[in-house]
Amino acid sequence: MLNVPAAAFPAPGSQQRAARGGRSKVPLKPGRSLMDWIRLTKSGKDLTGLKGRLIEVTEEELAKHNKTDDCWICIRGLVYNVTPYMEYHPGGEGELMKAAGADGTDLFDQVHRWVNYESMLKECLVGRMALKPIALPKESTSALSEEKKCLNGMLPESKIVGTSKSLAPSYDWFQTDCSVTVVVYTKQKGMNSEMVILDYEDSRLRGEIIIRDYSYLLNIELSNAVQEDIAVHVAEKVGKVEIVLKKIDNIPWKKLGQPLESHNSFIKRTDQGLYYRKCKLISKTDVTHDTKLFCLLLPQSTHFQVPVGQHVYLKQIVTGKEIVKPYTPVSCSLQTHFKEPSCHDGACLFLMIKIYPSGLFSSELDRLQIGDYIYVSNPEGSFQKSQVQTLEDLFLLAAGTGFTPMIKLLNYVLTNVNSLWTVKLMFFNKTEDDILWRDQLEQLILQDKRFEAQFILSEPSKEWNGKRGKISSSLLSEFFKRSKQDSKVLICICGSAPFTEQGERFLKDLGYCKEEIHSFTA
């Protein structure tokens, strides 16, 4: 619904205008870009019609505001008057009207739960939904005392939503003179360190453990200070996660700390809000004339690895508003067995980003100086390594920066998947100068005989001897040939929305089934 950040574009007819899954972007009238919206919100104009007053809104009142010229929507208990925003919404009025006079939280979450609507619609805030009186369930008081107990080292069952209690993780803690160890029993086999995301900031310890579509959260204000240097050990077979905190004052702790929001909960991953940490830009190098490799340093106390095929969200304040965009972390080289350079005090995140001169977010990124900070979210994405584990043929279809998810994927399969016979990349670009890491790709072709790549240019120079054109059924069938009949194959697609949609359609026409195609999308 409120897919706000992309609002400054696209130009009518632009390739980025049509979005996937029936969610189309509509042509916005001139003067209705995201920047224009930001300007309007800062103009001091009364956008709610309530002259700055905040009110309690009943369901009956909300339902009355269900027209295009008087439209209120509730998101997570807060009610916004989105009438002035209608013409600025990239998804068009129709999308907003689906939630007119009602609770739009689910609809919003389905489309872009990462969008910072709070910041974008701050001046449209009408107030809070009035609470209906509800009787407190009996367990609520015992849940509270259980929380207290757990922080003294007992083993509490987590607050579970929508899954069986027996599957829910629990935690415990113990201490020595100089350390405190928090142990999470995930009850899952095959845990690995990619599933544990840990942050420690301003005495708050936040540990998120990802178990398939679910997330278990530890969120505690620690009772005593600890060092930044936190160790995380994962006992993969038994599913135990140990977080080792080093005490600063080597004194006994009476309790672990105070529970914070959603502490000890085990809920759907999509219901867990995105968490951002501040990362420092430590280098910025040219990849092509318009694309750069950004290296960000994670805080020393942060533990996270971005799994193959997943993306993160970057957040920046652009002219006073929080803007969020997704980017896919890459390895810093395509050479398999290449060791990532170690950064002095923490882990690094590499991002290959194309700078669009009139792009709202990327042009702002380009203005960042070495030493500046940017917010980075937890990783997200639907790709699972299990999809490639026993694969025989992997076909990759990338357009422009749609190459980014292919980088870690290539490194991973060529190093880890023993069943693999062929990996074929079709890489679509406008001109030769746009081909990302062409040298590295050509080197990889020489190094690994399973790997082949074909470059196809849509705006080639006269001298170009290679393939020309855009994605088509004939180009695909010519290059993507199975190593043997009925081989186990996966085709990964990434590029602009129209490119991905066409790719999916052509592949289905060529007889590939749904399970054999994975599209990278947000």
Q: Is the distance from CB of 38 to CB of 122 less than 8 angstroms?
A: no
Footprint of ligand NAD on residues 251-280 (CB under 6 A)?
Answer: none
Residue 404 engages ligand NAD in binding (rule: CB under 6 A): yes
Shortest Cβ distance from residue 434 to ligand NAD (Å)? 6
Residue 400 engages ligand NAD in binding (rule: CB under 6 A): yes
Distance between CA atoms of 355 and 503, rounded to whole angstroms?
25
Residues 399, 409, 441, 493: which binds ligand NAD (CB under 6 A)?
A: 399
Give residue for tokens 């599913």: 239
Strands (E), 163-223: 170-175, 179-185, 196-201, 204-211, 214-222
Identify the CA nearest to 213 among candidates 171, 167, 264, 158.
Answer: 167
Three-class secondary structure assignment of 437-455: CHHHHHHHHHHCCCEEEEE
Nearer to ligand NAD, 230 or 374 (CB): 374
Residues 16, 24, 443, 483: which binds ligand NAD (CB under 6 A)?
A: 16
Footprint of ligand NAD on residues 281-340 (CB under 6 A)?
Answer: 311, 328
Longest C-alpha distance within the chain, in Å?
Answer: 78
Residue 9 interface partner, choices ligand NAD, ligand FAD, none, CB cut-off 5-8 Å depending on type? ligand FAD
Q: Is the distance from CB of 497 to CB of 510 less than 8 angstroms?
A: no
Residues 354, 438, 450, 467: which binds ligand FAD (CB under 6 A)?
A: 354
Strands (E), 328-450: 329-330, 348-354, 373-377, 393-399, 422-429
Phi-psi region of 41 (alpha: psi -120 to 50; beta: other; left: phi over 0): alpha
- Pairing label, strands 159-160, 102-103: unpaired
Distance between CA atoms of 516 and 387, rounded to whole angstroms?
9
Q: What SS3 class is residue 254?
A: coil
Footprint of ligand NAD on residues 413-472 (CB under 6 A)?
Answer: 428-430, 434, 458, 470-471
* Total residues at interface with ligand FAD (CB under 6 A): 27
Q: Which are the contacts of 146, defined by CB distance < 8 A and separation ≥ 6?
A: 154, 156, 157
Nearer to ligand NAD, 90 or 257 (CB): 90
Give the residue at shortest CB distance from ligand FAD: 359
Distance between CA atoms of 206 and 260, rounded to whole angstroms?
9
Shortest Cβ distance from residue 330 to ligand FAD (Å)? 7
First to last CA, the chain: 14
Residue 361 engages ligand FAD in binding (rule: CB under 6 A): yes
Nearer to ligand FAD, 16 or 487 (CB): 16
Site map (CB under 6 A) of ligand FAD, residues 296-325, x = contact? ---------------x-------------x
Phi-psi region of 243 (alpha: psi -120 to 50; beta: other; left: phi over 0): beta
Interface segment toward ligand FAD; rule CB under 6 A; list 152-160, 237-245, 347-355, 387-395: 347-355
Interface segment toward ligand NAD; rule CB under 6 A; list 184-192, 281-289, 446-454, 491-499: 491-499
Determine phi and psi for 370, rounding to 5 degrees: -55, 135
Footprint of ligand NAD on residues 354-383 (CB under 6 A)?
Answer: 354
Residue 10, preceding peptide bond in cis (omega within 30° of 0) = yes
- List the beta bridge partners of residue 174: 181
Residue 352 engages ligand FAD in binding (rule: CB under 6 A): yes
Q: Is the distance from CB of 168 to CB of 216 less than 8 angstroms?
A: yes
Nearer to ligand FAD, 110 or 176 (CB): 110
Residue 377 interface partner, choices ligand FAD, ligand NAD, none, CB cut-off 5-8 Å depending on type? none
Residues 239, 376, 495, 512: which binds ligand NAD (CB under 6 A)?
A: 495
Nearer to ligand FAD, 303 or 311 (CB): 311
Residue 498 interface partner, choices ligand NAD, ligand FAD, none, CB cut-off 5-8 Å depending on type? ligand NAD
Shortest Cβ distance from residue 430 to ligand NAD (Å)? 4
- List the beta bridge partners of residue 184: 171, 241
Shortest Cβ distance from residue 15 to ligand FAD (Å)? 9
Residues 82, 222, 494, 517: which binds ligand NAD (CB under 6 A)?
A: 494
Shortest Cβ distance from residue 464 to ligand FAD (Å)? 23
Give residue for tokens 């947000």: 522
Distance between CA atoms of 282 and 193, rounded to whole angstroms?
25
What is the contact surface with ligand FAD in residues (CB under 6 A)?
A: 6, 8-11, 14, 16, 33, 311, 325-328, 351-354, 356-362, 401, 404, 522
What is the contact surface with ligand NAD in residues (CB under 6 A)?
A: 15-16, 311, 328, 354, 399-402, 404-405, 428-430, 434, 458, 470-471, 494-496, 498-499, 502, 520-522
